[in-house]
């Protein structure tokens, strides 16, 4: 009986160590972008040297250039722009959409996203994982908020006749982006057309045509 209790206690302690919330042990860890030490995240700058600008970014009032095939532009404000976000698990983007512009299907490997529409009308959606692959979609107006759960493929489409603008918060200092079309058809070197033709159940010429766009 006692040994059973000890085993349970041991399991509880080791599992709490393995899954402990990695709470910050300091007020902040402003990224030292010049350090070449490889760590999970970025090395902290000497706290005595930090300044307000380490926590500051100006530019989300500026519309991104949407003159591109997708008709959209993402302006990030993550740890690359704001070193003070290092280790804090949060960042922002501004997204501009021309009329009928899209933010093409993509996923963030390290973040859930909460998107708020500031201007315009967006159809948004995400797809649940296998085997259901259910599309969860909604048309959003100014002031509406929508959540894209971590890892799921999602998109936005400006279905209005005017420009649209959104601000999204992401639960990582460095959310990462995997654009589905670019990953699948634009990898370097390319995934073999044999693989993609079988995967998409089309002929290889269709694959070559798709690959030529990326
Ligand atoms: Mn996204």
Tokens of 128: 């649940």
At 24, is the pLDDT very low, low, confident or very high (cuts 50, 70, 90)?
A: confident
Q: How far is the CA of 188 from the centre of ligand 1 (A)?
A: 23
What is the rounded average pLDDT for all residues in the chain? 92
- The pTM of this model reads 0.87
Q: How far is the CA of 18 from the centre of ligand 1 (A)?
A: 29
Residue 14 is predicted with a pLDDT of: 45
DSSP label at 36? -
Residue 1 is predicted with a pLDDT of: 47
Tens digit of pLDDT for each residue in 114-126? 999 999 999 999 9
Domain 66-80+89-176 has CATH 2.60.120.10: yes
At 20, is the pLDDT very low, low, confident or very high (cuts 50, 70, 90)?
A: low
Q: How far is the CA of 147 from the centre of ligand 1 (A)?
A: 10
Q: How far is the CA of 2 from the centre of ligand 1 (A)?
A: 51
> Residue 17: is its pLDDT beyond 70?
no
Do 88 and 22 touch, CB atoms closer than 8 A?
no
The pLDDT of 133-146, averaged and rounded, is 98
Tens digit of pLDDT for each residue in 39-59? 888 999 999 999 999 999 999
The pLDDT of 69-80, averaged and rounded, is 97
Domain residue ranges in the chain: 66-80+89-176, 178-214
Q: How far is the CA of 173 from the centre of ligand 1 (A)?
A: 14
Do 117 and 159 touch, CB atoms closer than 8 A?
no
In whole angstroms, give the CA distance from residue 167 to residue 147. Answer: 12
In whole angstroms, give the CA distance from residue 141 to residue 164. Answer: 10
């Amino acid at each position: 009986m006692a040994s059973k209790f000890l085993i349970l206690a041991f399991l509880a302690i080791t599992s709490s160590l393995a899954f402990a919330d990695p709470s910050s042990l300091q007020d902040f860890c402003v990224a030292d972008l010049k350090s070449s030490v490889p760590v999970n995240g970025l090395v902290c700058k000497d706290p005595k040297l930090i300044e307000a600008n380490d926590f500051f970014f100006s530019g989300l009032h500026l519309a991104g250039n949407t003159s591109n095939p997708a008709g959209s532009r993402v302006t990030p404000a993550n740890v690359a722009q704001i070193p003070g976000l290092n280790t804090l698990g949060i960042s922002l983007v501004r997204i501009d959409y021309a009329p009928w512009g899209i933010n093409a299907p993509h996923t963030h490997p390290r973040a859930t996203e909460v998107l708020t529409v500031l201007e315009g009308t967006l159809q948004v959606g995400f797809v649940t994982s296998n085997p259901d692959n259910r599309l969860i979609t909604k048309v959003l107006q100014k002031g509406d908020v929508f959540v894209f759960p971590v890892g799921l493929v999602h998109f936005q489409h400006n279905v209005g006749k005017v420009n649209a603008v959104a601000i999204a918060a992401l639960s990582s200092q460095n959310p990462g982006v995997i654009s589905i079309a670019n990953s699948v058809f634009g990898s370097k070197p390319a995934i073999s057309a044999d693989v993609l033709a079988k995967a998409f159940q089309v002929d290889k010429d269709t694959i070559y045509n798709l690959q030529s766009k990326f």
